[in-house]
Chains A and B, each alone.
Chain A
Amino acid sequence: MKFKLEDEHIMMRDMVRSFAEEECAPGAEERDEQESFPMDLWKRCAELGLTGVTFPEEYGGVGADYLSYAITVEELSRVDASLGVTISAHSSLGANPIFKFGTEAQKRKYLAPLATGEKMGALGLTENMAGSDASGTRTTAVRDGDEYVINGSKLFITNGYYADIYIVTAQMDKSKGNRGITAFIMEKGTPGFTFGKKEKKMGIRSSATYELVFEDVRIPAENLLGQEGQGFKVAMVTLDYGRIGIASQALGIAQGAYEQALKYSKERKQFGKTLSEFQVTQFKLADMAIQIEAARLLVYQACYLATEHLPFSKEAAMAKVFAAETANKVTAQAVQILGGYGYTRDYPVERMMRDAKITEIYEGTSEIQRIVVASHILKD
Chain B
Amino acid sequence: MKLPRWFHLLGSPPHVYRLAERLSPWLGGLGCALLAVGTVWGLGIAPTDYQQGESYRIIYIHPQTAYVGMMAYVVMAVAAAVGYVWRVKLAHAAAVSAAPIGAWFTFCALCTGALWGRPTWGTYWQWGDPRIMFEALLLFLFLGYLALRGAFDDRDKADRVTAILAVVGVVNIPIIHYSVEWWNSLHQTSTILREGGPAMTTDMLIPFLIMVAGFTLTFYWLLLRRLQAEILEREGSARWIRELVAEGAR
Tell me, yes or no, whether A binds B. no
Interface residues of B (CB under 8 A from A): none
